[in-house]
A and B are shown apart, each in its own frame.
Chain A
Amino acid sequence: MSGTVRATLERASPARIARRPSRSQLIKASITTVLLLFAFFALPELLSLYYIDTMTQVAVYSMVTLALGLLVGRVGLVSLGQVAVLAIGAWSAARLLFATTQPYPLILLEAGLITMVAGVVIGLPALRLRGLYLALITLMLAGGITVVLATVNFPNGGHGFLGYNGSLLHIPPIRRPSIAASDPAYYRFSVIIAILMFVLVLAHIKTKPGRAWAAIRQSEPAALAAGINVWFYKLWAFALASFITGVAGGVLAGAVHYLYSIGFPTQDSITLLAVTLMGGVFSLWGAVVAGFLYQFLPALLNNWGVSADWLIILFGLGVLQVLTTAPAGLADQVPRDLARLGRFLRGKARRPSPSRGAS
């Protein structure tokens, strides 16, 4: 056995591959835990009801951008139909919440599964396409779903399959879980569901499907040569993204109490893609950043009396900036730039000033 081979064997001993967390991984995990604890316990105590509701929306849309980021960043599939998928989830959850007395988490699971089936049905023909054509097809499908929703309306306590009674007055609100009836409690409930969805995606990324998606994104021939059923794994990504978006729709239904088709315009899918790219599609933190950009920033501007329409321009510039200088988005760029700034400042502090050096 050559020296190189022996050295490699020694380096590759099972103990080494046991993947003990490195120092940077431990720091990252600690920061994540502190932030989550802060978001869960402290934030509802510090914020007004206006911002608590906003933060619930951030949790909901973080799930949506998480799903979209999974498709775009992990598998390389650009979907412009996520708002319609969200609407399917919200519709299914609302219908089930009016029709049954099942526990809310179970309703969320069912809404996610129903949306997953719908997403797979949409995805089956669309998966034969790629790039701009896939984006276009998903946008058209989203437009179609929006038209259908405008016709059938969202359930409002009526009877029959559609659950819509045409009434505009005395509409019962969509219920919330009994333990999360208040806004702060429902915010905490939304955060828990969002964390579960993030863990679900993380579990996929770190295992067999994640490796398959990484191969598919870089090179489909290499993936095929590795024995990966490219079609199946793309469909799996579509199904998972639809499930997560469906669950997000279910959380949204309870958050807003009343759903209207006008709240799911097709063009919002384009804005969603823009903020997802800005946040960063290669990291899970990117989805959280995107959720803040999509929901918190407009709420902040509204509170300051500035029209949120200005954000369209900002998002346009943001996407341009991401595409030209930071393909991994703000979630990657900001910590890197901050670390660079820290190194620069440390270097400046250590270096003696010329005058002192001269004396």
Chain B
Amino acid sequence: MIEVGGLTVRFGGVTSLDDMSLTFEQGTCGLIGPNGAGKTTFFNVLSGFVRPAAGSVRAFGVDLLSMAHFRRARWGLRRTFQTEQAIEELSVFDNVAMVHEHSRQGGSRRGDVLDAIAFAGLDADPEASVRTLGAGQRRLVEVARAVVGRPRLVLLDEPAAGLPDEETSHLAEVIRRIPEHTGALAILVDHDMSLVSACCTTTAVLDFGKLIASGPTATVLRDDAVIRAYLGVA
């Protein structure tokens, strides 16, 4: 469970997050909004890359903001990036092992890493260099990194960006199963509404840094304010 209270982030004169308060209980939760709404900024606050001007973030009873950024991964925070960040120099196995050895661990390294690769459904040799993989496979390497060991909070930042429909539907299945497989709370940021609908039971919507809706995904996607934010007013 994550509780965000009065979170405000400013970059100079721009308010990227404006007094944002929300609670995600469990499962896979969606966070949507038009470009520039503050979704990635919210993830960057959780990751410790951006320091908020005000507000609090409590995840599973822990004050996340008081933790050094690299310690958050050890605590159980994982994330993928909008621009995929699989480490090219390393093999698939080493990419996942790298996260495992610096973060909250479940069992043995080899067992955990192979389990994560298999869970992501990565159709590649674990010894293969990431450099030789296609875009979809590299996205799955990131997902495997996000679920290896015992994560508590998994942040997925537009994981399906640029993927063809077939790979997106496989990714949706993987994302949907993350909470059940790892016990973690997953937060998905994406523009693909079919992906969000397929994966998320709860969804929150940001617009210009403000939370404009939150609740069951189906209800939120029919909300007038949300439709206005996405499509504008006629």
Binding site for B on A (CB under 8 A): 2, 4-5, 7-9, 11-12, 14, 16-17, 19, 208, 211-212, 214-215, 217-219, 221-222, 224-230
Contact = CB atoms under 8 A, between A and B. Distances in A.
Given A4-B123, A11-B125, A226 B99 contact: yes
A8 B122 contact: yes
Given A12-B117, A14-B114, A211 B90 contact: yes
A328 B124 CA distance: 26
B6 interface: no
A226 B126 contact: no
A5 B118 contact: yes
Nearest to B104: A227
A7 B47 CA distance: 34
Given A11-B125, A226-B103, A218 B89 contact: yes
22 contacts: A4-B121, A5-B118, A8-B117, A8-B122, A8-B124, A11-B126, A12-B114, A12-B117, A16-B127, A17-B114, A17-B127, A208-B101, A211-B97, A214-B89, A221-B85, A224-B70, A225-B47, A225-B77, A227-B71, A227-B74, A227-B102, A228-B102
Contacts of B119: 5
Given A225-B79, A227-B99, A219 B85 contact: yes
Interface residues of B, number: 41
Nearest to A230: B70
B218 interface: no
Contacts of A4: 121, 123, 170
Contacts of A8: 117-118, 121-124
B217 to A, nearest CB: 24
B186 interface: no
Contacts of B89: 214, 217-218
Looking at A7, A208, A224, A230, the one whose CB has the most chain B CB atoms below 10 A away is: A224
B110 A225 contact: no
Contact of A224 (B48, B93, B117, B124): B48
Interface in B93-118: 93-94, 97-99, 101-103, 110, 114, 117-118
